[in-house]
Amino acid sequence: VKISLLNDFNFPSWVKHTKPSAIDDLIGYASQPDFISFALGLPDQSFLPKAVLTEVTNDIIENEIDAFQYSPPLEELKTEIVKLMHLRGVSCDEKQIFLTSGGQQGLNLLVTLLLERGQPVILEELVYPGILQSLKPFSPEILTVPTDLKTGMDVEAVERILKSGVKPAFIYIVADGSNPLGVNLALDKRKRLAELANTYGVPIIEDDPYGFLNYSNQLPCIKSFGGENIFYVGSFSKIFSPALRTGWVVVPECFLPLLVSLKESFDVNIATFGQRITMGLLRKNIFESHMQILCSAYRERRDKMILSLNQYFPTEISFETPDSGFFIWVNFIENINTTLMLEKSLNAKVSYIPSQSFSAIAGAKHTSGMRLNFSYSSSQQIEEGIKRLAETY
């Protein structure tokens, strides 16, 4: 007798409504031969500084066998992160840095710490699905604000919500190279959002995995304009490698004991090897040259994708040129449903993520957009993939 476990188990209601994400569905495709993936936010691991990585890794294996043990967070890595935060315009010290197993865990920890069940949160209408996954167990009231594709989150809409007396647990934002929209929040809006956080006593979770990947001038992060209630989430996933599972959050010092005990329930201190490799790479002083290599390679791929979009979709779509991050957001001018179009494009061996997968509130409002990743495929693949896409819709 076949038993449907999902129906028989008495799961809490949020679990019953959990569906696999489009991203999970599309991971498998990326490894098929001749498949071109514009779907996932993958860095190109061929840009890893292999010689230095080998040296650093060998040194850890030879001399620091504790790297394979449960061990306390690496204080020296925090010192390196303090220097990186300076580059993002933030002065902080080691006592405000908490190391995480990647940015996603930083989000999970902060959401768990700040959000009461059922409380409101402010998100953009189209949002990084990972934050939605973190929110789900808390069944929050999701309040959304629109995004301008040139200047980012509608901060006036945020202000209207706050003025109305609503007290959200936090505002979540990816201000640089937004995922999924690719936009950078304009400088004046950064300052205004930081002011609002301060005036209304509402925390901001600033998720910044792409803040160092800029293709024109870099803007200081929102945290640099504000105080203690702006919580910054950083990650080495896009800088070095997601497999290192190394990220951090910048929080007031008094948060650290809470985060320590909360993190213990997630995974204890097991990312030690990744942390040591990250620290070894940073100490070799390769950060700036490595970022230059990444930024110039990704800029070239971004430009190739824009060129190919203009060449193969001359009039049907609209898009902006992103100044940071990994994604170009494309809107179809006619009412094309990109969710329905996906099957045809998978048959043509090219993938993207349809706009509906990023809806903060489930519904059919955003149906004619798609997120295209340009960091992972070579220029040649980018041209071929865009050509295939243009033939499928």
For ligand PMP, the closer CB: 174 or 251: 174
Q: Which of 38, 98, 128, 287 binds ligand PMP (CB under 6 A)?
A: 128
- What's the min distance (Å) between Cβ of 124 and ligand PMP? 12
For ligand PMP, the closer CB: 140 or 247: 247
Q: Which of 235, 278, 308, 359 binds ligand PMP (CB under 6 A)?
A: 235
- What's the min distance (Å) between Cβ of 233 and ligand PMP? 7
Helix (H, G, I), strand (E, B) or coil at 108: helix
Burial profile 8-40: b = 16 or more Cβ within 10 angstroms, e = fewer? eeeeeeeeeeeeeebeebbeebbeeeebbbbbb
Segment contacting ligand PMP (CB under 6 A): 72-80, 96-104, 116-124, 275-283? 96-104
For ligand PMP, the closer CB: 182 or 247: 247
- What's the min distance (Å) between Cβ of 363 and ligand PMP? 22
286, two tokens: 């390769």
Residue appearing with tokens 């693949």: 381
Per-residue contact flags (x/-) with ligand PMP for residues 130 to 169, judged by CB under 6 A: x---------------------------------------
- What's the min distance (Å) between Cβ of 232 and ligand PMP? 12
| CA 77 – CA 83 distance, rounded (Å) | 10
Burial class (CB in 10 A: 0-12, 13-18, 19+), 274: buried
Helix axes 155-163, 187-200, angle to 10 degrees: 10
The DSSP bridge partners found for residue 214 are 324
- What's the min distance (Å) between Cβ of 313 and ligand PMP? 25
Check binding of 184 to ligand PMP (CB under 6 A).
no
Give me the DSSP letters along 112-123.
Answer: HHHPPTT-EEEE
Helix or strand (DSSP H, E) at 72:
none
- What's the min distance (Å) between Cβ of 244 and ligand PMP? 9
Residues that bind ligand PMP (CB under 6 A): 41, 102-104, 128, 130, 174, 179, 207, 209, 235, 237, 242, 247
